[in-house]
Amino acid sequence: MRIGVLTGGGDCPGLNAVIRAVVRKGVEVYGHDFVGFRDGWRGPIEGDTMTLDVHAVRGILPRGGTILGTSRTNPYKTEDGEGKVLATLERLDIDALVAVGGEDTLGVATKLAASGVHVVGVPKTIDNDLGATDYTFGFDTAVGVAMEAIDRLHTTGDSHHRALVVEVMGRHAGWIALHAGLAGGANVILIPENPFDIEAVVAYVEHRFASGYSPVLVVSEGALPKDGGLVLGSGVVDDFGHVRLGGVGAALADVIEQRTGKESRAVVLGHVQRGGTPTAFDRVLATRFGLSAIDAVHSQDWGAMVALRGTEIVRVPLAEATAELKTVPAERYAEAEVFFG
Ligand code: F6P
């Protein structure tokens, strides 16, 4: 078979490990050929390809980002996007596609599968918010980066008697904030699932100062106050309708400083969480996803997505990946609340 591979959406540590596993097993075990599509769905729309053979994937296991490039291009927001994708696949004699991405990329893959494209999906997002899989690769790396930042902020915050607010990624789901905050001993964790009460946040901050320590607060970029009193977001919207987030950390630090009289600063971790080398956990998960994805292609299980259930890699229908967002359940947030203040 001749198989196209693409990576779409925000990049994520472990993407290269997936590509490597797909190609290595695909060539060495099954004898397939590969074509790399550049920059997500832009590649098949414009017919922009690169060589993807065993030589091309040598040495990429520990490398962050994606050798294929990525974008948030949506074929269904491009004039005759689907037609262009189908025409490219036909012109290049592509028998099957492996699409690695989050809800948007896999949403496109689901529609293409319904139009008869032979596609297999691999779930990816540092946010860990895809319902069909227990974990996505990249999440563990992002949590590790955020945890290290929190550890460092505790010592500088205590030295200066300042409140420090760390803004982490997480558009709809607060998994990064929850896990990094728990691992780093944050004094407050604010997530999109639970609109926060400014009065309660101020009370936690004051309690922490009163105990002789300086508070570190972790806030997901998508978290919002109950009363809607903070002005956030740039207003920039991508091809899939997502507003570019950012700003809740700074807004919160301002309110804390005004209300408590204590100096407060915000740190935005942003893309630092997404870049760089994946952890061992993410390399292994991404490698296992890649191996399982090429098995699914080889057995012509079209419309399947690989997923982690417990410790097993299983196949689920692609449509399941995008059916439901996996948000933080109330009881998981309650575990963290024990340590607030
Ligand atoms: O979807 C993953 C993610 O990292 C979100 O947490 C974040 O809101 C978004 O991507 C940022 O994407 P971009 O780099 O395109 O602004």
Q: What is the CATH number of the domain that holds 211?
A: 3.40.50.460
Same structural domain, 101 and 193? no
Respond yes or no: is residue 127 known to be catalytic: yes
Contact 125, 240 (CB under 8 A): no
Domain count, the chain: 2
Which long-range contacts link 114-120 to residues 24+ away (Cβ below 8 Å)? 115/82, 115/86, 117/85, 117/86, 117/89, 118/297, 118/300, 118/302, 119/302, 119/303, 119/318, 120/96, 120/293, 120/296, 120/297, 120/301, 120/302, 120/303, 120/304, 120/305, 120/306
**In-domain check, residue 337:** no
**In-domain check, residue 285:** yes
Q: Whose CA is nearest to atom 14 of ligand 1?
A: 10
pLDDT 10s digit of each residue in the chain, 341 long?
999 999 999 999 999 999 999 999 999 999 999 999 999 999 999 999 999 999 999 999 999 999 999 999 999 999 999 999 999 999 999 999 999 999 999 999 999 999 999 999 999 999 999 999 999 999 999 999 999 999 999 999 999 999 999 999 998 999 999 999 999 999 999 999 999 999 999 999 999 999 999 999 999 999 999 987 665 666 677 777 777 777 899 999 999 999 999 999 999 999 999 999 999 999 999 999 999 999 999 999 999 999 999 999 999 999 888 788 999 999 999 999 999 99
Domain containing 194 equals 139-275
**Ligand 1 centroid distance, CA of 169 (Å):** 7
Ligand 1 touching residue 270 (CB < 6 A): no
Neighbours of 199 (CB within 10 A): 11
Same structural domain, 164 and 248? yes
Ligand 1 touching residue 170 (CB < 6 A): yes
Task: Give Dmax (Cα) for the chain.
Answer: 69
Ligand 1 touching residue 169 (CB < 6 A): yes
**Ligand 1 centroid distance, CA of 271 (Å):** 8
